[in-house]
Amino acid sequence: MGIRIRVADFVQTLIAAIAVGSLYALVALGYTLVYGVLKFINFAHSDIFVLGTWTSLTAAVVITNKMGIEPEHAPWWVAMCVFLLAIAMCATFGYCIERFAYRPLRGAPRLNVLITAIGVSLLLQNVGQLPGKTVAESGGSPAATIPFGAIPRNMPALIEDRVLNETSVAEGTMAGGSKRGTVKLDQNLTIEAERQYRIEYVKPPAADAPAGAQSSIETLNVVVAEPGTIAAGEEISTQPRRNAKDVEGTKYRVLRSPLVPIRLIDVLIVTGSIGLMIGLQILVFKTKLGRAMRAVSHSVETASLMGINTNAVISFTFVLGSALAAAAAFLYPLKYPLVNQTAHGIWVLLGLKAFVAAVVGGIGNVRGAVLGGFLIALIEFFGSRYVSTELRDVYVFGLLILVLLLRPSGLLGSTAREKV
């Protein structure tokens, strides 16, 4: 059993690292796209990600508030609308930043562009946390404002995060126990070590419920002192505690948790991120627009002489990178619901890690950004799990130093030789 648990722990850490690595990779692609075309670092890119996160939260709150429904009961298309709104907002800001902040400095020294990028970043951070106009309320207090304010908020659960590989081990009709918080099942139940069990039962509408009210699914966690077999009709302790009459005669099923739970949100993050990465790969290397982007990356002047609208290509690159950041920004709070103020240090650190991922993989290389994102997350999570949690950031920046010492161009980057 000890080896089995250690393997399960390893796999669980791997799953978490892959999910977060997918998010790092999406944000890192924005850095690498802009650098690949213009050869400078857009330090405001991480703030575009934050803007997308807060836009997702605000849109979710406003839409569900206007519909008069709880977020967890929202139809699937609400999440899609929130996703598209986040992309639209971030893409618009990405275009405006390039058009009004960076384009006038196209021929200026690189230091001027760097200072401007830092200025844009600080502007977005501080404007985002200004007290704003209330656009949705909950319980008489503001639930969403524009700008977003300095109060952390929780992202509404538009998508229910459930375990996909739970096992149903018993079904039947349940009876109430002799005291509150105990139930009796009509099936034997074998409790295994290192597993959690929960009882789902169908709760009928209350006697005073309005006409048309439907049954609901309630959940009780099984509480036992030690593993073993519980015979049919034997009382089982549960949490939360329910009165005997509330569960008497209800239909139930017992679900057993897996050693390695696979959660819906993690699957959506990984599959969605990989789909976007494949789409970007096809766009850059298989389309006419992608060839134009690579031509501008090689030489803006030469691409212009060949008839390419370089301003349009550069603007599209910013829009594309911002859209990828928006996709990551929509997925991130579904996994980590607490959304901090726009100037919080957690966003700065997340942006730095995505930038490190781009540098480690090879800044300017699309495949390198993806590789760097996954590699950074693997080192961070496995180092935190098996060495020390306090040093999780040290592992990331230590890898950066190591790569810069041994291969300055990054793992998949190439060294450009300049004639002098």
Q: What is the pLDDT of residues 340-382, one digit of tens each?
A: 999 999 999 999 999 999 999 998 899 999 999 999 999 999 9
pLDDT at residue 68 above 90?
no
Percentage of the chain with pLDDT > 70?
A: 96
pLDDT of residue 418: 47
Percentage of the chain with pLDDT > 90?
A: 71
The CA-based dihedral angle spanning residues 33, 37, 38, 44, taken in that order and rounded to the nearest 10 degrees: -20
* pLDDT greater at residue 139 or residue 279: 279
Query: Distance between CA atoms of 245 and 235, rounded to whole angstroms?
Result: 15
Q: What is the pLDDT of residues 400-415, one digit of tens each?
A: 999 999 999 899 987 6
Average pLDDT over residues 269-288: 94
Q: What is the pLDDT of residues 288-342, one digit of tens each?
A: 999 999 999 988 899 999 999 999 999 999 999 999 999 999 999 999 999 999 9
pLDDT of residue 404: 92
pLDDT at residue 417 above 60?
no
Average pLDDT over residues 48-64: 95
pLDDT of residue 52: 96
Confidence of residue 420 (pLDDT cuts 50, 70, 90): very low
Confidence of residue 220 (pLDDT cuts 50, 70, 90): very high
pLDDT of residue 139: 73
The pTM score is 0.90
Q: What is the pLDDT of residues 16-36, one digit of tens each?
A: 999 999 999 999 999 999 998
pLDDT at residue 5 above 80?
no
Query: Distance between CA atoms of 285 and 372, rounded to whole angstroms?
Result: 20
Query: Distance between CA atoms of 363 and 355, rounded to whole angstroms?
Result: 9
pLDDT of residue 419: 44
pLDDT at residue 213 above 50?
yes
Query: Distance between CA atoms of 316 and 90, rounded to whole angstroms?
Result: 13
Half-sphere exposure of 121 (CA within 13 A, CB side): 19
> Are the C-beta atoms of 236 and 230 separated by less than 8 Å?
yes
pLDDT at residue 265 above 60?
yes
pLDDT at residue 113 above 80?
yes
**Average model confidence (pLDDT) across the chain:** 91
pLDDT of residue 416: 55
pLDDT at residue 208 above 70?
no
pLDDT of residue 141: 79
Confidence of residue 127 (pLDDT cuts 50, 70, 90): very high
